[in-house]
Amino acid sequence: NNNNIQAKLVFLGDMGTGKTSLVLRFVRGQFFDFQESTIGAAFFTQILSLNEATVKFDIWDTAGQERYHSLAPMYYRGAAAAVIVYDITSMDSFVRAQKWIEELQRQGNPKLVMVLVANKADLERKVKSEDAEQYAQENGLLFIETSAKSAQNVNELFYEIAKRLVKA
Ligand code: GTP
């Protein structure tokens, strides 16, 4: 049954969008104003208990720098869920997120649960929520606005993914 599951979760998105910060907020309750850029990828685990189930997340936090792009398939292969992060202050990062989603639609696990995350919600936005929400809806993705800095919606992000995976 699905009461205790282990799930591979991959974070993708442009450099500096806050992938590591979101994972560290969730796993350790920490945030750093000067978070170092990830090299290659970093691995974390965290267990989340729902009422009726326990999900153990194996989290791959990938590096957003373009030179690491070719490594990404190693990390999204076999993933149950993918979190594609953009920074609401950067239109470029939103465009980059859409490229990741197209790649996952072409080459990812067909049952992959995908979440589009609009991070840095504590800052002044350049990307309209409506545009991202509409894009997410058209592509069958979950959409959530977060701030790793303030912790807004960070637990909710992982909780929503866990709920989807347990239902599947
Ligand atoms: P790469 O490893 O290069 O791909 O970057 P990343 O996506 O993992 O971003 P990272 O978590 O390293 O964060 C980049 C910068 O943005 C850091 O200086 C963080 O402190 C900052 N940052 C991350 N999340 C937030 C947020 O929600 N709000 C604000 N204001 N800053 C954030």
Per the DSSP assignment, residues forming a β-bridge with 116 are: 84, 143
Query: pTM (2 decimals)?
Result: 0.97
25 lines ligand 1 (CB under 6 A): no
Strands of 54-62's sheet, edge to edge? 41-49, 54-62, 4-13, 81-87, 113-119, 142-145
Q: What's the pLDDT at 112?
A: 96
96 lines ligand 1 (CB under 6 A): no
| 95 CA → ligand 1 middle, Å | 17
CA-nearest of 94, 39, 98 to 65 is 39
* CA atoms of 155 and 168, how far apart (whole Å): 20
pLDDT, one tens digit per residue, over 130-139 is 999 999 999 9
Q: What's the pLDDT at 167?
A: 85
> HSE-up of 83 (CA within 13 Å, CB side)?
33
Report whether 158 contacts 126 (CB < 8 A).
Answer: no
| 17 CA → ligand 1 middle, Å | 5
What tens-digit pLDDT sequence spans the chain (168 residues)? 568 999 999 999 999 999 999 999 999 999 999 999 999 999 999 999 998 899 999 999 999 999 999 999 999 999 999 999 999 999 999 999 999 999 999 998 999 999 999 999 999 999 999 999 999 999 999 999 999 999 999 999 999 999 999 987
| 51 CA → ligand 1 middle, Å | 31
Out of 20, 23, 89, 156, mutate this one to test ligand 1's pocket (max ligand atoms within 8 Å of CB): namely: 20
Q: Write down the residue that tokens 């936090």 correspond to.
A: 61
Q: What's the pLDDT at 5?
A: 94
Q: What's the pLDDT at 1?
A: 52
